[in-house]
């Protein structure tokens, strides 16, 4: 999670903004489609290659081309699976979302929707960890408000060496809203706004 505190805009009140990454809720479906497509292409490619050339039907010449077909099929399978792995890695990264936190609300600007949570409307925020080969890579965050229940997939920016904890997410502000700044009046008493 990258964030900045704008010194001029948040001079007399709390203001925090930043970016985080989220994953599509349909990620498992996309993953299985990619794996099924790569597997079916891998199984279908040798048959199609032999059928299109017609060499497989001529038993006299098949021995002459068997090394060529083995090499072509092997390289083709490697290319198919490398493309599948590249697409899966792109899906794993997720898409970039922006957030802005003020003294009263948290605004999320996600790829397909914009959400504003008022701290007073939030009932509960639940975190369930997302793991990838035993390593925590983010959280499934469920935000329960008076009006709705939203599920957001938060991916941790582990590439920066940050630990994946709940207090590093922008959703931590929903359970622990910022306090209004205390100002001192001319007579020495604090004024709470």
pLDDT at residue 4, rounded to an integer: 52
Euclidean distance between CA atoms 127 and 138, whole angstroms: 9
- Eight-class DSSP state of 179: P
Q: Given its phi and psi angles, is residue 133 left (phi above 0), alpha (psi -120 to 50 degrees) or beta? A: left
Share of the chain above pLDDT 70, in %: 74
- What band does 45 get if pLDDT is binned at 50, 70 and 90? confident
Q: Is the dihedral of CA 65, 68, 71, 76 positive or negative?
A: negative
Break the chain into its structural domains and give their ranges: 2-23+97-184, 28-92
Is 70 exceeded by the pLDDT of residue 71?
Answer: yes
* Residue among 172, 191, 175 at smallest CA distance from 16: 172
CA separation for the pair 11, 17 (Å, rounded): 14
**Which has the higher per-residue pLDDT, 125 or 156?**
125
As a whole number, mean pLDDT of residues 165-187 equals: 76
pLDDT recorded at residue 82: 92
**129: nearest Cα among 156, 91, 162, 160:** 156
**pLDDT the model gives residue 161:** 47
User: 25: which 2 tokens?
Assistant: 């809720």
Please say if the pLDDT value at position 8 is more than 70: no
Comparing 148 with 55, which gets the higher pLDDT?
A: 148
CATH number of 2-23+97-184: 2.30.29
Which pair of structure tokens corresponds to residue 154?
Answer: 């938060």
Model pTM score: 0.66
Predicted local confidence at residue 55, as pLDDT:
57
């Amino acid at each position: 999670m990258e964030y900045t505190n704008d010194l001029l805009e948040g001079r007399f009140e709390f203001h925090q903004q930043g970016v985080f990454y989220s994953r599509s809720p349909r990620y498992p479906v996309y993953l299985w489609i990619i794996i099924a497509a790569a597997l079916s292409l891998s199984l279908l490619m040798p048959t199609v290659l032999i059928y299109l050339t017609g060499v497989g039907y001529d038993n006299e010449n098949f021995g002459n081309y068997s090394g060529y077909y083995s090499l072509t099929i092997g390289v083709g399978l490697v290319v198919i699976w490398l493309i599948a792995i590249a697409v899966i890695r792109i899906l794993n990264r997720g898409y970039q979302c922006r957030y802005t936190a003020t003294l009263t609300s948290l605004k999320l600007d996600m790829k397909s929707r914009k959400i504003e949570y008022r701290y007073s409307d939030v009932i509960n925020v639940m975190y369930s960890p997302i793991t990838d080969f035993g390593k925590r890579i983010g959280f499934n965050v469920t935000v329960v408000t008076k009006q709705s229940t939203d599920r957001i997939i938060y991916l941790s920016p582990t590439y920066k060496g940050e630990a994946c904890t709940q207090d590093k997410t922008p959703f931590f502000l929903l359970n622990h809203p910022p306090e209004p700044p205390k100002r001192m009046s001319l007579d020495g008493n604090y004024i709470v706004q």
